[in-house]
């Protein structure tokens, strides 16, 4: 069962582009290439995956060998590395924004505006800043990050020159709880199976179980939740 965050993003792409069109995708914060797996390689014209984790990039390169799929390890959030990529149809940032400073995010957006094709789109998902989620944010102990204020993220996109076409939140209760729990299962995988840069068997099993419940929660017609989605175009 695919995590509903990815299902939501896939639905955005499928509504915006014809089903038979092959796309140039730039996945910033790609990890070991999970988005590439759920998207399906038949629709890939070119795929560029960037991540700060060298181990994740190594795992991605071992798993994906298509000539139109490319992975890059970056030493830091240096958005200038993206300048050589042009005519990108879709730029996705999944769970990345909360680890970037405002300066880094602005630099990334400025380059994104240049590299996107005329009908290109940027799709962002991130943990949103609400007081209840700040209180639940145990992950901050293990992996320092910031929850994202919705209006500030939208304003930054507009300041760079993007037009925000969609913005909404999903996952009221289960999403923040499961997000906190997953790090426990990932730690167990590292201890038991020595996984590095990818999700281990315990993490995969638990995600499969929780994704079913999260998919139901995402269907609630309420614009409030732990995950913020923003879709913007030039």
* pLDDT tens sequence across 92-121: 999 999 989 888 899 899 989 889 999 999
What is the Cα–Cα distance from 122 to 116, expressed in whole angstroms?
8
pLDDT of residue 142: 67
* Residue 7 predicted with pLDDT over 70: yes
| Average pLDDT score over residue span 150-177 | 97
pTM for the full predicted model: 0.93
| Average pLDDT score over residue span 198-217 | 94
Mean pLDDT of all residues belonging to the chain: 91
What is the Cα–Cα distance from 86 to 114, expressed in whole angstroms?
8
* Residue 183 predicted with pLDDT over 90: no
Contact indicator for 196, 153 with CB cutoff of 8 Å: no
CB within 8 Å of 202: residues ≥ 6 apart? 185, 186, 188, 189, 192, 193
Question: In which band, very low, low, confident or very high, does the pLDDT at 180 lie, cut at 50, 70 and 90?
Answer: confident
Q: Over the stretch 126-157, which tens digit does the pLDDT of each residue have? A: 999 999 999 888 767 666 788 999 999 999 99
| CATH class, 4-233 region | alpha beta
Question: In which band, very low, low, confident or very high, does the pLDDT at 79 lie, cut at 50, 70 and 90?
Answer: low
Instruction: For helices 201-218 and 4-16, give the axis angle rounded to 10 degrees.
Output: 60
């Amino acid at each position: 069962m695919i995590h509903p965050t990815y299902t939501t993003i896939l639905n955005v792409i499928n509504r915006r582009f014809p089903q038979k069109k092959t796309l140039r995708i730039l996945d910033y914060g790609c990890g070991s290439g999970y988005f590439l797996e759920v998207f399906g390689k038949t629709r890939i014209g070119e795929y560029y995956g960037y991540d700060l984790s060298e181990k994740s990039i190594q795992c991605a390169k071992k798993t994906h060998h298509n000539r139109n799929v490319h992975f890059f390890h970056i030493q830091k959030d240096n958005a200038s590395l993206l300048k050589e990529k042009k005519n990108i149809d879709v730029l996705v940032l999944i769970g990345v924004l909360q680890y970037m400073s405002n300066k880094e995010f602005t630099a990334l957006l400025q380059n994104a505006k240049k590299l996107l094709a005329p009908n290109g789109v940027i799709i962002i998902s991130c943990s949103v800043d609400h007081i209840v989620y700040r209180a639940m944010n145990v992950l901050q102990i293990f992996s320092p990050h910031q929850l994202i204020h919705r209006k500030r993220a939208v304003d930054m996109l507009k300041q760079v020159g993007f037009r925000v076409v969609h913005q909404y939140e999903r996952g009221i209760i289960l999403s923040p709880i499961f997000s906190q729990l997953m790090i426990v299962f990932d730690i167990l995988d590292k201890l038991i199976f020595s996984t590095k840069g990818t999700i281990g068997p315990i993490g995969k099993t638990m995600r499969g179980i929780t994704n079913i419940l999260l998919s139901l929660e995402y269907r609630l017609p309420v614009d409030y939740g732990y995950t913020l989605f923003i879709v913007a175009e030039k």
